[in-house]
Structure 1
Amino acid sequence: MFGLFAMQQSPATFNRRDAAAHNIAPKLSSRGPLHEAPRTNVSPLFHPKGFAMSATPGFIRKEDAVVLMLDHQTGLFSLVRDFQPDEFRNNVLALAATAKYFGLPTILATSMDQGPNGVLLPQLREILPDAPVIKRPGEINAWDNPEFLKTLKATGKKQIIVAGIVTDVCVAMPTLSALAEGYEVFVVVDASGTFSSVARDSAHIRMANAGAQLINWFAVACELQRDWRNGMEGLAALFEKHIPDYGNLISGLKR
């Protein structure tokens, strides 16, 4: 722990003496064995240059997007520790409501829902009664389930908006699989939960490095809307329901 802490100090306080004390070899380069790397106050783990941008990063296109909601099951909700329970549940339902409002094809999936994982959150079925539900009997990665993959590919969409429980497994694995097959993937970070912030952050870094775009449900809705003149009242009502503070802004529309 101390060694890691020392490495994350500012360059002014971490010098060759510290490197020697912690058995850190000096960086070799063509300019000499003691040439230091460019100095930065940002931890290498979170340095922006550590994230591999997708070849053509862009916005979500409503006509080319599908929503995947993976393993939002009653039992698995109890594993989520990186959000408060009410906050997380609201975010999940807000994403579902966003998908419904914009008419995006949506696929729901569960994993071994006859056991302790529990059934799909009932409110999701209420919001999306016509969405297919793929019940995986054992595959951890939804991408490995033939029915799931067939249903996804039948939509013909190439942009995937995905959220689920847990972030580092049930979201990360199909995200990496989809990226490998050429899909654009948008991971909805606030509708995906896991055991801890450490698990969440490492999963985010892994997916971003692979080319996924990290986004929240509010940003998803705004990218799909693009212009308030494209029907303000419906989206405003959605925001008011799921972002209580937004009601202060929406109240101006009701005068």
Structure 2
Amino acid sequence: MKKVIFTAVFALTAIATHAQKPSPALLNPTNHTLVLIDHEGQMAFATKSIDAIDLRNNVGLIAGASKIFNVPTVVTTVAEKSFSGPVFPEILEAFPNTSQYIDRTTMNTWEDANAYKAITSKGKKKLVFAGLWTSVCIVGPTLSAISDGYEVYVVTDASGDVSKEAHDQAISRMVQAGAKPITSLQYLLELQRDWSRGETYKAVTDLAVKYGGAYGIGIQYAREMLKH
């Protein structure tokens, strides 16, 4: 009888342990590199697939998340000084050292030697891309990285294009090639994953209050009302 009980307990423990193992398809702070591409003024001026305020907030969420969780991050620009201008303030806030940004002439980041080296030298087989414009500056490196054996995620609401159709068709093309679409708040919460992780809890919720729209307002409300 004892043997039967022990076997049953062991089996249940094994099932519980197995159930706690997350999918390898999920992102965590150490299994990927974030690449922010051409979030610059000139590129944003013509972006029509998403409101500029929403775009900036979403970029703030993913840039802030990568900073909180120490995610290997590459910020790259195109013709920064001669045409496209500086990156969004939300990126500068998280990564103020502009000397580490990589400026390019190529539309496809993957074809720039310095950017390619910066991305691949991080040693991560999962890459997360976001940038402007989706149909050019995101499609290029996404298809190229997938061709080279990388697993690519695209933050769809931290990217944008000259029209909704251009953005949507670009996302469809990348998904057909194997890219995985995610959103900015999803990225933040997937990295946090467990609210008992106290070392990042406040930073994550503070970031959500700042850039998380209605969700952030809800957090602010709860903080104030529940303390009474």
Normalised-by-shorter TM-score class:
0.7 to 0.9
1:240 Cα deviation after fit: 1.1
- Secondary structure at the aligned position of 1:115 is classed as helix
Q: Are 2:184 and 1:214 equivalent residues in the alignment?
A: no
Aligned equivalent of 1:162, options 129, 136, 148: 129
Return the alpha-carbon distance in structure 2 between the equivalents of residues 61 and 242 of structure 1.
Answer: 21
Return the alpha-carbon distance in structure 2 between the equivalents of residues 233 and 60 of structure 1.
Answer: 20
Q: What is the aligned partner in structure 2 of residue 133 from structure 1?
A: 101
Q: Could you say which structure has the larger radius of gyration?
A: 1
Taking structure 1 as the reference length, what is the TM-score of the superposition? Answer: 0.73
Return the alpha-carbon distance in structure 2 between the equivalents of residues 96 and 66 of structure 1.
Answer: 12
Is residue 63–residue 91 contact of structure 2 (8 Å, CA) maintained in 1? Answer: yes
Aligned residue identity for 1:251: Y
- Secondary structure at the aligned position of 2:82 is classed as coil
Please, which runs of 5 or more residues in structure 1 have no aligned partner? 1-55
Aligned positions, number: 199
Residues 122 and 238 of structure 1: CA distance in aligned 2, closer, same or farther (over 3 Å): closer
Q: What is the aligned partner in structure 1 of residue 70 from structure 2?
A: 103
Return the alpha-carbon distance in structure 2 between the equivalents of residues 153 and 111 of structure 1.
Answer: 19
Ranges of 4+ aligned residues in structure 1 off by more than 4 Å: none
Residues 253 and 122 of structure 1: CA distance in aligned 2, closer, same or farther (over 3 Å): closer
Instruction: Work out the percentage of aligned pairs sharing the same amino acid.
Output: 33
1:250 Cα deviation after fit: 4.3
Residues 68 and 88 of structure 1: CA distance in aligned 2, closer, same or farther (over 3 Å): same
Q: What is the aligned partner in structure 1 of residue 156 from structure 2?
A: 189
Q: What is the aligned partner in structure 1 of residue 208 from structure 2?
A: 239
**What RMSD in Å do the two structures reach over aligned CA positions?**
1.7
Aligned equivalent of 2:55, options 82, 88, 91: 88
Choose between structure 1 and 2: higher helix proportion.
Answer: 2
Return the alpha-carbon distance in structure 2 between the equivalents of residues 121 and 222 of structure 1.
Answer: 22
Which structure has more relative contact order (CA 8 Å, sep 6+)? It is 2
Q: Are 2:147 and 1:177 equivalent residues in the alignment?
A: no
Return the alpha-carbon distance in structure 2 between the equivalents of residues 229 and 197 of structure 1.
Answer: 39
Taking structure 2 as the reference length, what is the TM-score of the superposition? Answer: 0.82
Return the alpha-carbon distance in structure 2 between the equivalents of residues 242 and 114 of structure 1.
Answer: 28
